């Protein structure tokens, strides 16, 4: 089995070295970053399986990194923070965190949380490893790949999740609020118009088949059976 590669985003050198050493002892491959700006560069250079980041409040760079990962990457985030405040935790999850751990903590707890996230993330991605076919579209939940007329489509994490939801529920109309709850999570605090933006991007990438994602005026969106 290929070793999982974890990107650690942490400015505290001592703390980062301690985490890195313990994770390497468990067989993980480690990429280290001093800050979120550097992490964005490393994400383009390496194939990363999980991001372990020290989440500072407020820090716009951390927000940008989280937004980039949730919109463009297909990997989980575990946030490490000094804040045990409930609002801080909710913010972390709304920004895309799979888990949130408060300092100080035992290394054994961190390792356990990482294993749980990997298991949960793999389970959510596999969905019994069968290909879903709807007309000219085919979707493989295991590889998270989408094809249209045998042409591979490059979708972001959110675009893929949105399209999969519409495919497995074809001909069912979903409101923006329902799609936000299902894809972004019930703690998402952004605008409902983000659904419109992602639908537009999906249609553009599905061209010339994008028109099969129908707008039902006053209600929401659906994928019409081809």
Q: Where are the domains of the chain?
A: 5-126, 130-223
Compute the distance between CA of residue 152 and CA of residue 49 in angstroms, rounded to an integer. 22
Query: Starting from the edge strand earliest in sequence, which strands make up the sheet with 145-148, in order?
Result: 132-134, 137-140, 145-148, 151-153
CATH of 5-126 given 3.40.1160.10, 3.40.50.1240, 3.40.50.2300, 2.60.120.10: 3.40.50.2300
Question: 19 Cβ partners below 8 Å, 6+ apart?
Answer: 8, 10, 52, 107, 110
CATH 3.30.540.10 fits 130-223, yes or no: no
For range 60-73, the mean pLDDT = 84
pLDDT tens sequence across 95-118: 888 889 988 888 889 999 898 888
- Residue 44 has a pLDDT of 85
Which helix (H) or strand (E) is 220 found in, with range?
strand 220-223
8-state DSSP, 53: E
- Model confidence band, residue 123 (pLDDT cutoffs 50, 70, 90): low
**Per residue in 195-224, is it b (16+ CB within 10 Å) or e — as a string?**
beebbebbeebbeebeebbeeeeeebbbbe
pLDDT tens sequence across 4-59: 889 999 988 888 899 999 999 889 999 999 889 999 999 888 888 899 999 886 67
Question: 55 Cβ partners below 8 Å, 6+ apart?
Answer: 62, 79, 80, 81, 92, 97, 100
Number of Cβ atoms within 10 Å of the Cβ of 104 = 6
Where do we find the tokens 């605090």?
189
- Residue 182 has a pLDDT of 82
pLDDT tens sequence across 168-191: 888 888 999 888 888 887 666 667
- Integer distance in angstroms from the first to the last C-alpha of the chain? 39
């Amino acid at each position: 089995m290929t070793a999982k590669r974890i990107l650690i985003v942490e400015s505290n050198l001592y703390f980062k070295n301690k985490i890195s050493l313990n994770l390497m002892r468990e067989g993980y491959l480690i990429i280290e970053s001093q800050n979120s700006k550097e992490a964005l560069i490393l994400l383009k250079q390496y194939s990363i399986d999980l991001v372990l980041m020290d989440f500072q409040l407020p820090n716009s760079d951390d927000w940008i990194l989280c937004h980039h990962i949730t919109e463009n990457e297909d990997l989980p985030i575990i946030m490490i923070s000094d804040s045990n405040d409930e609002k801080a935790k909710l913010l972390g999850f709304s920004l895309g965190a799979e888990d949130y751990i408060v300092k100080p903590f035992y290394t054994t707890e961190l390792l356990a949380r990482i294993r749980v996230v990997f298991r949960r993330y793999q389970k959510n991605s596999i969905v019994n490893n069968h290909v879903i076919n709807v007309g000219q579209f085919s979707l493989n939940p295991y590889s998270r790949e989408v094809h249209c007329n045998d042409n591979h489509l490059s979708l972001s994490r959110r675009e893929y999740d949105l399209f999969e939801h519409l495919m497995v529920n074809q001909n069912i109309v979903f409101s923006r609020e329902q799609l936000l709850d299902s894809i972004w999570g019930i703690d998402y605090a952004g605008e409902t118009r983000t659904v419109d933006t992602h639908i537009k991007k999906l249609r553009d990438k599905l061209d010339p088949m994008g028109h099969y994602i129908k707008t039902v005026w006053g209600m929401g969106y659906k994928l019409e059976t081809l």
